[in-house]
Amino acid sequence: MIVSDVFAGKTYAVLGLARSGLATVETLLASGARVVAWDSQETAREAAIALGRSYRAKSRDDRAELGFSTSLETNGILEIGDPMEIDLTGFDGIVVSPGVPLNRHPITMRAKIAGVPIIGDIELFALARPTLPPHKVVGITGTNGKSTTTALIHHIIEQAGYPTTMGGNIGLPVLGQPPLEPNLQGVGVYVLELSSYQIDLTYSLDCDVAVLLNITPDHLDRYNGFEGYVASKLRLFDMMKPPHVGVLNWHTEFGQKLYHQLADQHDYQIWTNYSDDVDDPYELWGAFDENGQTTARDHLSTQKDWPALKGPHNAENAIASILACSALGIAEVDISEALKTYASLPHRMQAVATRNGVLYVNDSKATNAASTAPALAAWPAKDGKPRIHWILGGVAKSDNLDECAPHFGNVAHAYTIGEAGHMFADLLRGSMAVDDSEMLSAAVRRAARIAQPGDVVLLSPACASFDQFRDFEARGEAFAAAVAALD
């Protein structure tokens, strides 16, 4: 874990004791801070209490025997207490889970009255950075594609031989991971996926490379309209200082507007794939000239060489990753080879099986129409014959599939499931054949009976999962199990 004397002798409240909350408690205790921790779940409080007992050792020898840092003279102290009920005067910060809705939760007003900042674990990492071994940070945000791009950048850096780890909104909490030590190749690189909620709780994260993938309306219950959501994302760039690099990689008119806005407001470089005379992002592949504009480069491989990066959305994710890793100084030949060996994350355009010549793809993470649309574009009709057997439905985030409509011609048959199944079945009839299957397992069986060799059975639900499944992971696992059970 990360330990820093910047926290020694300070007092923090930690609200929310899930995985990142417990990692935060452990870092602060190991760093010699006083921690008041709280969670509404008794089991979570008990886990924190058990952690606190480990830090009651009174001597450096005891701490060494327990496996904790002995570089600090001060032992951390843990107390259990609800920050809504205790006096917060004098606290150095209230560390909250990103899931806490600051626009509605009463902790916001209590903290304001007490004059205590509300922060997240990413801000603690930012504060600890000056005490860590030399390193760099890549921060990735956007509405869609964050996890794939984060994992891809991490993979490229790792394949290039640099020490690296990924955290934030993916993998293990960054505070719970050991500090990166430089090697002969160079300094370590922390690759952080950052949601708007995490950025809201961060004030001093100066990324060496900040990546903005896209912005479409989302989480508007937490913000003052779409403009508030956009402003949250752009704060990642506002915290950055020269000579660091911003990466912006999409072609829409809105993306171009943001590029000029960022370039006008900040002194650091903004690298982009935007070009006035190139319309097709597939021609770009993220190479850039001295002005930060992308140009075609023959010695970079192309998407046909990247088996785990199909579809236009993954083209954009790859472009962002190429730009980010180039900004880190990684050679293009290393980037090119790493793109070929990247394996997709579970539940994100994940090929789970090929049976009787039919490819089965788990894209359960696609929980809105905007994230499903690129999946439908990934397998265009061949010889005029649509190839996709599309399984969709669940808890709808809207009453339409407008973003998906341009790609309906690629769909041979749709199979609707879950709470939104009937609505989407009615909406899609007239554009394609539809089976209102209701259950995921039934949809898989029916698709398997109809699909022909060369076709694709695609779970890309365009909906949340909570009507029938615990989360999108459980839904994706159920899909893979249903495929495995086919005769």
**Known catalytic residues?**
146, 169, 219
Other C-beta atoms closer than 10 Å to the C-beta of 395 total: 16
Phi and psi torsions of 431, nearest 5°? -105, -25
Are 240 and 268 spatial neighbours (Cβ–Cβ below 8 Å)? yes
CB-based contacts of 481: which residues, under 8 Å, 6+ apart? none
Q: How far apart are the C-alpha atoms of 295 and 260, rounded to whole Å?
A: 19
Alpha carbon distances (Å) from 196 to 20, 142, 455: 16, 8, 37
* Helices 253-265 and 225-238, packing angle to 10 deg: 50
Please choose, from the candidates 316, 251, 306, 329, the residue with its C-alpha nearest in 3D space to the C-alpha of residue 286: 316
What span, in angstroms and rounded, lies between the C-alpha atoms of 196 and 218? 10
Angle, CA 55 vertex, CA 110 and CA 122 arms, to 5°: 50
Other Cβ atoms less than 10 A from the Cβ of 102: the count is: 15
Distance CA(487)–CA(474), nearest Å, equals: 22
List strands edge to edge, sheet with 11-15: 77-80, 34-38, 11-15, 93-96, 118-119
Q: Tokens 């402003």 — which residue?
A: 231
Q: Token pair of 219, please? A: 């989480």
* Short-list 195, 203, 204, CA closest to 233: 195
Residue 306 contacts by C-beta under 8 Å, 6 or more apart in sequence?
314, 318, 339, 340, 342
Angle, alpha carbons 478-484-485 (nearest 5°): 90
Q: Is 466 exposed, middle or buried (0-12, 13-18, 19+ CB in 10 A)?
A: middle
Q: Report the sign of the C-alpha dihedral through residues 187, 193, 195, 201, in that order.
A: negative
Asked if 448 and 415 count as a contact pair (C-beta separation under 8 A), the reply is: no
Phi and psi, residue 118, nearest 5°: -95, 125
